[in-house]
A and B are shown apart, each in its own frame.
Chain A
Amino acid sequence: EPEVTQTPSHQVTQMGQEVILRCVPISNHLYFYWYRQILGQKVEFLVSFYNNEISEKSEIFDDQFSVERPDGSNFTLKIRSTKLEDSAMYFCASKTSGRNEQFFGPGTRLTVL
């Protein structure tokens, strides 16, 4: 069964460094999302992406964040200058146009030191 994949599974970085989290959505899906979950807290929406542009973003998704679909299969989240409070589990999700459910990847655990 097709699934969303994410790499790396765990990323450790120093504060101020740039990180790129990668996602491969399910192949026929057209809607893409990033969410994050700080340890012990709710899953929070960051951004949604459709037709090669951001369709919606949250207050969390400030100028330090960007998303890109560099080719036909990858969907990336870049954090330009990481902060301690960016430490969280980052989930990618995708959705096809014919159905409403979003399918989530296994997540990337980002640790900022």
Chain B
Amino acid sequence: SQELEQSPQSLIVQEGKNLTINCTSSKTLYGLYWYKQKYGEGLIFLMMLQKGGEEKSHEKITAKLDEKKQQSSLHITASQPSHAGIYLCGAGVPASKLTFGTGTRLQVTL
């Protein structure tokens, strides 16, 4: 079965700093999803990557997919307190189940 490893497990950054979260898959990635979860709440869809080398951005968040390395990275530029939460990567083929990573807990300090 597919396993997704995220690093780091937790991160504390000062407001305004940039940060990167990584997600590495044990198997070929056909679709890689990034979600954000606030503690005890639902998952908010951020973006999905399908093609090798694909890069997507939404506001100050950019995600990239390196198909050869079976890896994706999520980069936040100029972090804000609103970026705090748990970032989850998920993988799966279209219409099928998603397998999720262990999550990265982000705290943004003032």
Residues of chain A at the chain B interface (Cβ within 8 Å): 4, 31, 33, 35, 42-45, 48, 50, 55-56, 58, 89, 91, 93, 95, 100-107, 109
Q: Which residue of chain B is the closest to A105 with respect to CB atoms? A: B42
Secondary structure type dominating chain B contacts: loop
A77, chain B: closest CB distance, angstroms = 15
Q: Is the CB of B48 within 8 A of A101?
A: yes
Sorting the interface of chain B by its residue count into under 10, 10 to 19, 20 to 34 or 35 or more gives 20 to 34
Residue contacts A-B, CB under 8 angstroms, 26 given: A33-B98, A35-B98, A42-B102, A42-B103, A43-B43, A43-B88, A43-B90, A43-B98, A45-B97, A45-B98, A45-B99, A48-B96, A55-B95, A56-B96, A58-B97, A91-B42, A95-B95, A100-B31, A100-B94, A102-B45, A104-B44, A105-B42, A106-B42, A107-B41, A107-B42, A109-B40
With a CB–CB cut-off of 8 A, which chain B residues contact A101? 33, 45, 48
Which 4 residue pairs are nearest across A and B when measured between Cβ atoms?
A: A45-B97, A106-B42, A104-B43, A43-B100
Interface of chain B residues 69 through 103 with chain A (CB within 8 A): 88, 90, 94-103
Of B50, B95, B101, the residue contacting A31 (CB under 8 A) is B95
For residue A44, which residues in chain B have a CB less than 8 angstroms away from its CB? 100
Q: Which residues of B contact A (CB under 8 A)?
A: 31, 33, 35, 40-45, 48, 50, 88, 90, 94-103
Contact of A103 with B99 in the complex, beta carbons under 8 Å? no
Find out whether the CB atom of B45 lies under 8 angstroms from the CB atom of A100.
no
> Across the two chains, which residue of chain A brings its CB closest to B44?
A104
The smallest beta-carbon distance between B43 and chain A, in angstroms, is 4
User: Which A residues are in CB contact (< 8 Å) with B99?
Assistant: 45
Q: How far in angstroms is the closest Cβ of chain B from A96?
A: 10
Residue contact B43 to A100, C-beta cutoff 8 Å: no
Contact B98 A100 (CB under 8 A): no
Taken together as a complex, chains A and B put the C-alpha atoms of A103 and B98 apart, in Å, by 12
* B95 CB contacts on chain A under 8 angstroms: 31, 48, 50, 55, 95, 100
Report the minimum CB–CB distance from A35 to chain B (whole Å).
8
In whole angstroms, what is the CA distance A91 to B57 when docked? 26
**Residues from chain B with Cβ under 8 Å of A56 in the complex:** 96-97
